[in-house]
Structure 1
Amino acid sequence: MEKTRTLCSIKHDIEGHIGEKVTLKANGGRRKVLINNGTLESVYPSIFVVRLDNDTQRTVSFSYSDVLTKTVQLVFAG
């Protein structure tokens, strides 16, 4: 039950930053850490979407459990 509260609080915190610039640190596997800059585009019940600031304007999505397990770390610029 407490895990649900934690996921809800993570979702609520992320919802407050829609449209803001974010630095994304993601675990790429085999001790690789991928660091990208982007904009938090949208928030859904199970996932959130970040549009990367690369040449291709690619979007990536992650679940709130990725933040909970520290597979993904978000740093908001603001």
Structure 2
Amino acid sequence: MEKNSLDKIRENVKSYVGEKVRLKANKGRKKTTIREGVLESVYPSIFVVKIDGGYNTVRRVSYSYSDILTETVEVIVCKNEKKIQIS
């Protein structure tokens, strides 16, 4: 069952490559970070989001699909001012 859920999440994330997303990541001990970036690429185990760090810097962060499954990370797609949550 879990493998099937991860496959569905992977396919869902893959359909939004190139779109602007908002990440809300739980960092533990009641710490959360919210970042905006572009969903850059999708791999079999992880996905990569490119974040503009300011001052002409670019950061890339990666998360696994199990992070979405366990709700450690929320990915919200900002498409045409409409927000779609990936789960």
Q: Shared fold (TM-score greater than 0.5)?
A: yes
Larger proportion of strand: 2
Shift of 1:21: 0.1
Give the distance between the partners of 2:52 and 2:24, measured in 1 at CA: 14
Partner of 1:59: 60
Partner of 1:21: 20
Percent of paired sites with the same residue? 51
Give the distance between the partners of 2:72 and 2:46, measured in 1 at CA: 14
1:53 counterpart letter in structure 2: D
TM-score (normalizing by structure 1): 0.96
Give 5+ residue unaligned stretches, structure 1: none
Write out the 4+ residue segments of structure 1 that deviate beyond 3 Å after TM superposition.
Answer: none
Partner of 1:70: 71
Give 5+ residue unaligned stretches, structure 2: 80-87
TM-score (normalizing by structure 2): 0.86
Partner of 1:37: 36
Shift of 1:30: 1.1
How many residue pairs match? The answer is 77
Shift of 1:72: 0.4
Give the distance between the partners of 2:7 and 2:42, measured in 1 at CA: 12
Does the residue aligned with 2:18 lie in a helix, a strand or coil? coil
Partner of 1:50: 49
Give the distance between the partners of 1:31 and 1:25, measured in 2 at CA: 12
